[in-house]
């Protein structure tokens, strides 16, 4: 990984870009994962590189649902393993959820590389998906393979940075699907039951914090949070945030250096 000076104004953006490149060099991240990362970066720039209120609202509803779930599973792909390997394990522990390596561009080499990376942070971690025997109906080839003890059995699944087709197929299987996606217009964002429009590098640590805080809430309180939640409204509110931000930036037609800083 190249050394980026901490004083660089875009330090964190460059840092995670390097992490994705490193993920590919380690054999974890798909080439298409680099493109997906670039799309995420662009949306994050527009959103303002911070957690907006609708994302916080979605995270609370997601954590409530996961805490009430009978069999919650968190899916791990090549981008997630490159960006937030330790944070993924922390979140699963805080929620009592299973972890499953589940890849769109599945190869056994990539599954092995991701498992090795996660085990660096917890050698004991129970990782599903290394030997999947079930298939998501309607998805051909490798991308539909799931673990009988994991996504196949899950009632609530977290599928971050996901393709819309698979999100849709999981919803059609009757799963409650939670996604993390910086693009509020994506098919995944539209198909999921709860969409967290935030960067996964901010969302996972915040969800872990929320899980630790909310695990003492009563069942009624958690159910109340879920009942109040409206994913369509949340996505709409993100778009309104983007619209307002761009209107502010475009403002009187004069570039305002200060306001452009994110
Ligand atoms: O590792 P694999 O084989 O499972 O493949 C993973 C990718 C990401 C390549 C695959 O799932 C894919 O092609 O996904 P898409 O359809 O490009 O969708 C990924 C979505 O994640 C896009 O809408 C991006 O905007 C979004 N995204 C990218 N980086 C982040 C992100 N959302 C949140 N946080 C990010 N860091």
User: What CATH number should be reported for the domain holding residue 197?
Assistant: 3.40.50.12640
247 domain residue, yes or no = no
40 domain residue, yes or no = no
Return the pLDDT at 181: 98
38 domain residue, yes or no = no
202 domain residue, yes or no = yes
Report which ligand 1 atom has the smallest distance to the Cα of 186. 23
> Ligand 1 mean position to 164 CA, how many Å?
10
111 domain residue, yes or no = yes
Dihedral sign from CA coordinates of 211, 217, 221, 222: positive
> Ligand 1 mean position to 120 CA, how many Å?
23
Segment 134-190, tens digit of pLDDT: 999 988 778 899 999 999 999 999 999 998 899 999 999 999 999 999 999 999 999
End-to-end CA distance of the chain: 25
Q: How many domains would you assign to the chain?
A: 1
Position 228 pLDDT exceeds 80 = yes
Position 258 pLDDT exceeds 70 = no
Q: Which two tokens stand for residue 250?
A: 């475009």
234 Cβ below 6 A of ligand 1: no
79 Cβ below 6 A of ligand 1: yes
Return the pLDDT at 250: 85
219 domain residue, yes or no = yes
152 domain residue, yes or no = yes
Q: Please return the burial class of 5, using the count of CB atoms within 10 Å of its CB with bins 0-12, 13-18 and 19+.
A: exposed
Return the pLDDT at 7: 83
Q: How far is CA 30 from CA 84, 120, 136, in A?
A: 16, 20, 21
Helix (H) or strand (E) holding 5: none
**Considering the entire predicted model, what is its pTM?**
0.95
Nearest CA to ligand 1 atom 32: 181
For residue 63, the enclosing domain spans 53-238
Segment 17-73, tens digit of pLDDT: 999 999 999 999 999 999 999 999 999 999 999 999 999 999 999 999 999 999 999
Given pLDDT bands bounded at 50, 70 and 90, which one contains residue 89?
A: very high
195 Cβ below 6 A of ligand 1: no
12 domain residue, yes or no = no
Position 249 pLDDT exceeds 90 = no
Percent of all residues in the chain with a pLDDT value above 70, rounded to a whole number: 95
């Amino acid at each position: 990984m190249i050394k980026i000076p901490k004083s660089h104004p875009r330090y964190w953006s460059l840092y995670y870009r390097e992490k994705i490149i490193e993920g590919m060099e380690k054999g974890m991240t798909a080439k298409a994962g680099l493109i997906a990362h670039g799309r995420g970066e662009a949306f994050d720039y527009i959103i303002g590189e911070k957690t907006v209120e609708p994302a916080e609202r979605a995270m609370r509803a997601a954590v409530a649902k996961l805490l009430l779930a009978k069999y919650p599973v968190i899916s791990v792909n090549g981008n997630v393993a490159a960006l937030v390997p330790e944070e993924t394990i922390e979140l699963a522990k805080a929620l009592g959820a299973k972890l499953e390596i589940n890849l769109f561009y599945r190869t056994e080499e990539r599954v092995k590389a991701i498992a090795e990376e996660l085990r660096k942070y917890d050698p004991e971690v129970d990782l599903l998906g290394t030997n999947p025997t079930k298939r998501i109906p309607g998805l051909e080839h490798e991308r539909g393979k799931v673990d009988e003890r994991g996504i196949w059995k899950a009632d609530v699944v977290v599928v971050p940075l996901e393709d819309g087709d698979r999100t849709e197929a999981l919803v059609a299987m009757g799963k409650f699907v939670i996604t993390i996606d910086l693009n509020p217009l994506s098919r995944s964002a539209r198909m999921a039951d709860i969409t967290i429009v935030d960067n996964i590098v901010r969302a996972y640590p915040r969800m872990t914090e929320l899980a630790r805080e909310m695990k003492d809430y009563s069942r009624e309180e958690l159910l109340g949070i879920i009942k109040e939640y409206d994913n369509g409204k949340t996505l709409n509110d993100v778009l309104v945030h983007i619209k307002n931000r761009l209107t502010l930036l475009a403002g009187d037609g004069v570039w305002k250096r200060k306001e452009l800083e994110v």
